[in-house]
Amino acid sequence: MPSPTTAFALIESAMRVVGIISSGAGETPTADEANDALDSLNDLLESMSLENLFVWGQANQTFATVAGQATRTIGPTGQFVVTSRPVRIYDAYCTVLGVDYPIQIIGQAEYNEICLKTEQQQIIERLLYVNDFPNGIITLWPTPSAVVSLVLTLDRVMTSVASTATVLTFPPGYLNFMKHALGLMLAPDYGVTPSQAVVDIARGTKAALKRANKQKVLARFDAALGSGPVANWQNWP
């Protein structure tokens, strides 16, 4: 379906595609039915935000560190900035005196192996992100000794729809998927069995969106593995 459209129009199309309402009779969902379906639409958007490659694009957001503080929160009431809580942080770098320094994203086990967690310096080397709720938790190492610019690469998050009158604008293919996927979510509540064609379209459009959002993967390895003497296999005995 064309973008932009309203949430009500999307809900109406979803109900029609699975046979909850009849297109031939000109039926439309009641206000109560539309509001119930709006809850399901927001559930669908939440689920889409959790799946890698489902959300188009990533965005860099810039934050300012606080001298002497390693741990800050990010989210709707975050200390870094009030924003949507990221599901994950893909990449990061800090800027010191006009030079960008890459930051390694690590897990909890890797952070636990750091011997001196209170070390301070201006250039940040590692970042641990804990996907907590309602705010995510960011821990920097070493602890920044001064205020520096911190740039984080975050997934785009699907925001919830406030009302059935809300205008929805999505890239090509998204509303088509959402129409069929939402129809499949609503069908059991009305005792309707969707056709296999609706199931196939929902599955096919989902796969197409993920293929379109696929990004090139950069191979990384520990720099220590590349150090030391170089051996030439042709000189082996």
**Per-residue DSSP letters for 123-184?**
S--EEEEE--SSSEEEEEESEESS--EEEEEEE--PPPP--TT-EE---TTHHHHHHHHHHH
DSSP 83: -
The answer to pTM > 0.75 is: no
Predicted pLDDT of residue 75: 87
**At residue 181, what is the residue type?**
A
CATH number (1.10.1060.10, 3.50.50.60, 1.10.3230.20, 3.90.320.10) of 5-54+158-212 reads: 1.10.3230.20
Predicted pLDDT of residue 224: 54
Low-confidence spans in the chain with pLDDT less than 50: none
Residue corresponding to tokens 């770098």: 93
Condensed to tens digits (0 to 9), the pLDDT of residues 149-183 reads 999 998 777 888 999 999 999 989 999 999 999 99
Quote the tokens at residue 20. 């909850």
Residue corresponding to tokens 């939440």: 46
Cα 128 → chain centroid: 17
Predicted pLDDT of residue 159: 83
Distances 28 to 34, 50, 168, 185, 216 between C-alpha atoms, Å: 9, 31, 19, 18, 44
Dihedral angle over CA of 22, 24, 26, 27, nearest 10: -10
Q: Quickly list H helices, 4-160.
A: 7-18, 31-50, 108-112
Predicted pLDDT of residue 71: 94
Q: Where are the domains of the chain?
A: 5-54+158-212, 58-155
Nearest to 15 by CA among 198, 162, 166, 172: 198
